[in-house]
A and B are shown apart, each in its own frame.
Chain A
Amino acid sequence: MGFIEQNEKERKDFVFKWAEYVRTHDDKDWSRQQNVIINSALKSANMTREQFFKMKKETNYVKY
Chain B
Amino acid sequence: MKFIDKRTIEINRELSDLDRFTIDFINILSKYTDYVIVSGYVAILLGRARASEDIDVIIKKIDFQNFTRLYNELKKNYFYCLNAEKEKTVYSYLKDNLAVRFAKIDTMIPNIEMKWTRNEFDKIALEKTIKVKIQKDLLRISHLELQIAFKEEILKSPKDLDDANHIREVAKDYLDEKLIQKYKEMLHGFY
Q: Which residues of A contact B (CB under 8 A)?
A: 8, 11-12, 15-16, 18-20, 22-23, 26-28, 30-35, 37-39, 41-42, 45, 47-49, 52-53, 58, 61-64
Of the candidates B12, B51, B89, which one forms a contact with A27 in the assembled complex, judged by CB atoms under 8 Å apart? B12
Total contacting residues, chain B, CB less than 8 A:
37
Of the candidates B13, B98, B99, B158, which one forms a contact with A28 in the assembled complex, judged by CB atoms under 8 Å apart? B13
**Could you say which of B44, B51, B53, B84 has the most chain A C-beta atoms within 10 Å of its C-beta?**
B51
Do A42 and B17 form a contact, CB below 8 Å, given A27-B1, A37-B50, A49-B82? yes
Q: How far is the CA of A32 from the CA of B124 in the complex (A)?
A: 33
Contact partners of A53 in chain B: CB under 8 A: 82
Query: What does DSSP make chain A's interface, helix, strand, loop or mixed?
Result: helix
- The answer to whether A42 and B98 have CB atoms under 8 Å apart is no
Query: What does DSSP make chain B's interface, helix, strand, loop or mixed?
Result: loop
Contact partners of B5 in chain A: CB under 8 A: none
Of the candidates B51, B96, B158, B165, which one forms a contact with A19 in the assembled complex, judged by CB atoms under 8 Å apart? B165
Q: How far is the CA of A40 from the CA of B109 in the complex (A)?
A: 12
Of the candidates A18, A37, A48, A61, which one forms a contact with B166 in the assembled complex, judged by CB atoms under 8 Å apart? A18
Contact partners of A38 in chain B: CB under 8 A: 16-18, 44, 50-51
B172 proximal to A (CB < 8 A): yes
19 contacts between A and B (CB under 8 A): A15-B48, A18-B47, A19-B48, A19-B169, A20-B169, A22-B170, A23-B169, A23-B170, A30-B13, A31-B14, A34-B49, A35-B17, A37-B49, A37-B50, A38-B16, A38-B17, A38-B50, A62-B84, A63-B85
Contact partners of B122 in chain A: CB under 8 A: none
- The answer to whether A35 and B14 have CB atoms under 8 Å apart is yes
